Homo-oligomer: A and B are copies of this chain.
Amino acid sequence: MRQVNLGMIGGGTVGSGVYHALRLNGQLLASRIGVPIRIRKIAVKAFDEPRPYSIPRSLMTLDWQRVVHDPEVDIVTELVGGTTIARTMVLTALGLGKPVITANKALLSAHGEELFAAAKKNRTNLYYEASVCGGIPIIKSLREGFVGNRITHLYGIVNGTCNYILTRMKLEGADFDAVLKDAQAQGYAEAEPSLDVDGYDAQHKIGILASLAHGFWVKPGRIYVEGIRAITRLDMQYAGQLGYTIKLLGIIKAQPDGTGGRAPRIQVSVYPTLVPNSHVLASVNHVFNAVFVRGDVVGDTLFYGRGAGKDATASAVLSDLADAALDLTAGTKNRVPAFVPHARGGTVVPIRDVVSQYFVRLNVVDRPGTLARISRVFGDAQIGISSVIQPEGRQGGSVPLIMMLHEAPNGAVTRALRRIQKLPVVRGRPVMIRVENFQ
Contact = CB atoms under 8 A, between A and B. Distances in A.
Contacts of A295: 135, 315
B25 A322 contact: no
Contact of A24 (B135, B296, B316): B296
Contacts of A311: 297-299
A136 B147 CA distance: 13
B146 A137 contact: yes
Given A144-B140, A148-B314, A280-B280, A298 B305 contact: yes
Interface stretch (A29-37, A367-375, A382-390): A29-37
A438 interface: no
Interface of A: 21-22, 24-25, 27-29, 31-34, 129, 135-137, 140-141, 143-150, 215, 261, 280, 283, 295-306, 311-312, 314-319, 321-323, 326-327, 330-332, 335-337, 340, 342-343
B146 A319 contact: yes
A199 B297 CA distance: 27
Given A137-B145, A144-B140, A298 B283 contact: no
A297 B326 contact: no
Nearest to A135: B298
Contacts of A319: 144-148
24 contacts: A25-B150, A25-B296, A25-B297, A28-B148, A28-B342, A31-B215, A31-B343, A33-B336, A135-B297, A135-B301, A136-B301, A140-B144, A141-B141, A148-B314, A148-B315, A148-B318, A280-B304, A298-B306, A298-B311, A298-B316, A302-B304, A326-B335, A326-B336, A332-B332
Contacts of A147: 29, 32-33, 318-319, 322
A318 B306 contact: no
B296 A301 contact: no
The oligomer's copy count stands at 2
B300 A315 contact: no
A321 B143 CA distance: 13
A146 B315 contact: yes
A34 B323 CA distance: 19
For the complex of A and B, the 3 pairs showing the least CB-CB separation, nearest first, are A148-B318, A137-B145, A301-B305
A303 B306 contact: no
A400 to B, nearest CB: 31
B335 A29 contact: no
A28 B261 contact: yes
B312 A298 contact: yes
A283 B404 CA distance: 27
A310 to B, nearest CB: 10
Contact of A34 (B144, B300, B301, B340): B340
Given A148-B314, A298-B306, 18 more contacts: A25-B148, A25-B150, A29-B147, A31-B261, A32-B342, A34-B340, A135-B298, A137-B137, A137-B144, A146-B315, A148-B322, A280-B304, A297-B318, A298-B316, A301-B305, A301-B306, A302-B303, A335-B335
Contacts of A316: 145, 298
Contacts of A321: 148
A138 B280 CA distance: 19
Given A315-B297, A336-B326, A32 B215 contact: yes
A24 B297 contact: yes
Nearest to A148: B318
A120 to B, nearest CB: 12
A34 B299 CA distance: 25
A301 B304 contact: yes
A137 B141 contact: yes
A158 to B, nearest CB: 15
A418 B148 CA distance: 53
